[in-house]
A and B are shown apart, each in its own frame.
Chain A
Amino acid sequence: MKQPVWDLPIRLFHWLLAALIAFSWWSVKNHHTDWHIWSGFAILTLLFFRLLWGLVGSSTARFSSFVRGPRAVRDYLHDSTNWRVAGHTPLGALSVVALLGAIAVQVGLGLVSTDEDGLNEGPLAQLVSLNVSETARDLHELFFNVVLGLIVLHAAAILYFRLVLGQKLVKPMITGRAALEPGVEPMRTGKWWVAVICLLAAFAVTRWIVAGAPPF
C-alpha cells in the first residue's frame, strides 16, 4: 500500500527548481543574460514559497519535522531503522538545508551583481558600490561550483539509495507516494489554500525585490 510522502507543492517546487537551475546555467552560457536574470527571479519566488511552506505546509515539508541536531544525525547514521517518520531523514535534511542555503546565497549574489560590460545588473545592485557589485559577480560565478557540488552529492546519494540500499527515491518525488514500512508515520497533508497564500506572498516579496526594494 503506497502512502502519501510528498505533497504537490513540494514536488512542483523540486522539479521547477531543478529545471530553472539548468535553465539559468544554459541561458548565461549562451549570452541570454536577460533570461538568466528572470530565471533567477523565478528561483527567488520558489525559495520564498519553500520557506513559508516549510513553516505552515504539509508535515514532510515542515522544517520542524526534519531539521535535527548533530545527535539525531549521529543516531541515524548509527541505526537508520530508528527513524520512523516519512520524508527527509536527519542526514537528508542536512543536504536539503545546504542546497536551499547555497541556492539562496547564489540568488543573493546575483541580485547585487553587475556584469562585466555594465549592460545588465541585478535589481539590488544599486544598493551597493560598483566595486562590491563586480566582486559579487565574480563570486556568483565561483559559487555556482558550490551549488553544483551539492547537486552532484544529492544525485549521488539518490544513486546510493537505489543501488546499495535498493530504495527508489525519484519515483516518490514524481508521484508523491511511497510504500512505507509498518509503523512509519505518513505525511499529514497541508491545506491547498495555505499553499496559495504562500505562493502569493512569495510573488509579492519577489516583486518588491525586483523593483529594487523601494522603501514603503
Chain B
Amino acid sequence: MRNALLAATAAVALLAGCRQSADDQAANTAAPKSSQVLPITDDPAMVSARAPASKEEALKLMHDRHEGMEDIGDAFKVLGREMKASSPNLATVRSSAATIAGLAPKVSAWFPTGTGPDIGKTRAKPEIWRKPEDFAAKTRAFQAAAQKFDATAKAGDVTAIKAGFGELGKTCKACHDPYRAEKH
C-alpha cells in the first residue's frame, strides 16, 4: 500500500515535470491545451523538444547529453555494486537513486531533431527520429521507473530496492538496445 502511494506520488511528480516540457511545446505547435491531468501518450513532442537553432547549439546539447548519460551510467554502476552486497549501503543507494531521478526528466529535452550522427559524434541512432512515438514511450518508461526507484530507495526496503533496480535497468536496456550505436 505504502509502495503504491509512493509510486503514485512519484508518478504525479513526474507528470508535473512532463507537463512543463509539453506546455513548452504546445506554444510551438499550437496544440490545443487539454485539461487532462495525464499527458497524452505517444506525444513525440515531449521527447523531440525544440530543434537547436544553430550547429553550435546542437553540439552543446549533444555534449551535455553525453555528460548527463555518463552521470546516469556512473550512478548505475555504483548502484550495481551495492546491489550485489548482502546489506547495501543505503546512503550510497539513495544518493545514486536521487542522481538518476534528478537527471531522468532531462532526457526528454536531450533528443531534439538535428542532434543525430549527421551533426556530430554521437551514438544516438537515426532511428530515434524515425520512431519518435516509440522513443518517447520508452523515455517515459525510464523516467517513471527512475522516480519510482528513488522513492523505493528512500523507503529503504532492501528487497524492494533490488527488485526496483532490476526494473529500472530494463528500461535503460529497452532504449539502448535499439537506439544506441556501438562504441567506436
Contact = CB atoms under 8 A, between A and B. Distances in A.
Interface string B57-80: 000000000000000011011111
Nearest to B85: A126
Given A117-B176, A119-B169, A130 B183 contact: no
Contacts, number: 34
B75 to A, nearest CB: 8
Contacts of A118: 73-74, 76-80
Contacts of A116: 73, 183
A130 B78 contact: yes
B172 interface: yes
Nearest to B80: A118
A191 B74 CA distance: 52
A114 B78 CA distance: 11
State which size class the interface on A falls in. Answer: 10 to 19
Contact of B77 (A31, A114, A126): A114
B24 to A, nearest CB: 29
Label chain A's interface by main secondary structure.
mixed
Nearest to B176: A117
Interface in B100-134: none
A119 B81 contact: no
Contacts of A185: none
Contact of A117 (B78, B81, B84, B169): B169
B177 A31 contact: yes
B74 to A, nearest CB: 8
A117 B172 contact: yes
Interface of B: 73-74, 76-81, 84, 169, 172-173, 176-177, 183
Interface of A: 31, 114, 116-119, 121, 126, 130, 134, 141
7 contacts: A31-B173, A31-B177, A118-B76, A119-B169, A119-B172, A126-B81, A130-B81
